[in-house]
């Protein structure tokens, strides 16, 4: 069976990870009591670090084979944050997802307001809290965003998602919103990958950056 890229990470809910957002801005001090001048120099960009729990030789071999298939970052993968794989308000899982009545995705209705994604098709009363993650997928494009303020779905299943960074113009209402385990299209930083070839247990770790 051929490999599909961007490739999924090995599924391991014990993997530790930290996602950080670089806003793509620089500050220039002005002095004389004036606030610094802030300039946007490029698009916002997510970076992440990953570390597994201690794994045996067979388990580490799976990660090594996965890394080798990425050709040192030439091929991309879909990274996700295990601490946000489900919304923060549902530590025991989203009831509608557990019941199989909802797959965690929503229809994008509007992207016209910067920093706001309007969606439909979510369970009534569904809640997203600040810090929750949301994804957009459209064709081969993947967007990854963080909820800025609390949002609650209306009784008709519509919802407005205040997010940062702002949504790129490459996305349209043809996109699908992913509200459960959203993934970020990423390139691995090859020099960061560590998979010790030692007896016993050892961690696998690496770093990655968002790839548009």
Do residues 116 and 190 share a domain? no
Instruction: Say if CB 205 and CB 52 are below 8 A apart.
Output: yes
Do residues 90 and 177 share a domain? yes
Do residues 90 and 134 share a domain? yes
Do residues 160 and 93 share a domain? yes
Do residues 128 and 101 share a domain? yes
Instruction: Say if CB 80 and CB 50 are below 8 A apart.
Output: no
203 contacts: CB under 8 Å, gap ≥ 6: 51, 52, 53, 54, 55, 194, 196
pLDDT of residue 69: 97
Mean pLDDT of all residues in 70-86: 92
What are the pLDDT digits (tens) for 18-40?
A: 999 998 888 878 777 678 888 88
Q: Is the pLDDT of residue 44 over 80?
A: yes
Judged by DSSP in three states, 90 sits in coil
- Domain count within the chain: 2
Mean pLDDT of all residues in 67-82: 95
Phi then psi dihedrals of residue 189, to 5 deg: -90, 105
pLDDT of residue 211: 95
**Minimal CA–CA distance to 51: which of 211, 197, 209, 194?**
194
Do residues 101 and 19 share a domain? no
Do residues 23 and 50 share a domain? yes
What are the pLDDT digits (tens) for 95-136?
A: 999 999 999 999 999 999 999 999 999 999 999 999 999 999
The domain of 29 spans: 1-80+185-212
Q: Give the confidence band of 46 by pLDDT, cuts at 50, 70, 90.
A: very high
Do residues 90 and 164 share a domain? yes
Mean pLDDT score of the chain: 93
**Pairing of the two strands 116-120 and 105-110:** antiparallel
Judged by DSSP in three states, 197 sits in coil
In percent, the amount of the chain with pLDDT more than 70 equals 100
Do residues 121 and 136 share a domain? yes
172 contacts: CB under 8 Å, gap ≥ 6: 108, 111, 138
- Which CATH number is 169's domain given? 2.40.30
Do residues 49 and 70 share a domain? yes
Do residues 106 and 174 share a domain? yes
Do residues 75 and 122 share a domain? no
Mean pLDDT of all residues in 155-160: 97
Radius of gyration of the CA atoms of the chain, in A:
19
Q: Is the pLDDT of residue 14 over 90?
A: no
Nearest-angstrom CA–CA distance, 136 and 66: 24
């Amino acid at each position: 069976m051929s490999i599909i890229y961007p490739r999924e990470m090995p599924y391991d809910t014990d993997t530790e990870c930290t996602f950080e957002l670089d806003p793509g801005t620089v500050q220039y001090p002005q002095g004389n009591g004036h606030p610094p001048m802030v300039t946007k120099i490029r698009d916002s960009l997510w970076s992440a670090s990953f570390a597994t729990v201690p794994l045996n030789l067979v388990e580490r071999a799976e990660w090594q084979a996965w890394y080798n298939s990425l050709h040192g970052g030439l091929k991309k993968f879909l990274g996700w944050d295990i601490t946000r794989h489900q919304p923060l308000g549902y530590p025991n899982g989203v009831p509608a997802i557990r019941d199989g009545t909802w797959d965690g995705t929503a229809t994008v209705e509007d992207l016209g307001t910067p920093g706001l994604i309007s969606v439909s098709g979510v369970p009534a009363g569904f809640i997203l809290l600040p810090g929750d993650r949301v994804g957009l997928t459209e064709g081969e494009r993947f967007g990854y965003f963080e909820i800025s303020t609390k949002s609650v779905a209306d009784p008709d299943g519509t919802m407005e998602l205040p997010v940062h960074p702002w949504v790129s113009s490459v996305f349209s209402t043809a996109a699908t919103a992913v509200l459960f385990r959203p993934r970020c299209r990423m390139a691995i930083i090859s020099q960061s990958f560590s998979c010790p070839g030692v007896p016993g247990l050892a961690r696998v770790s690496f770093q990655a950056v968002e790839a548009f």
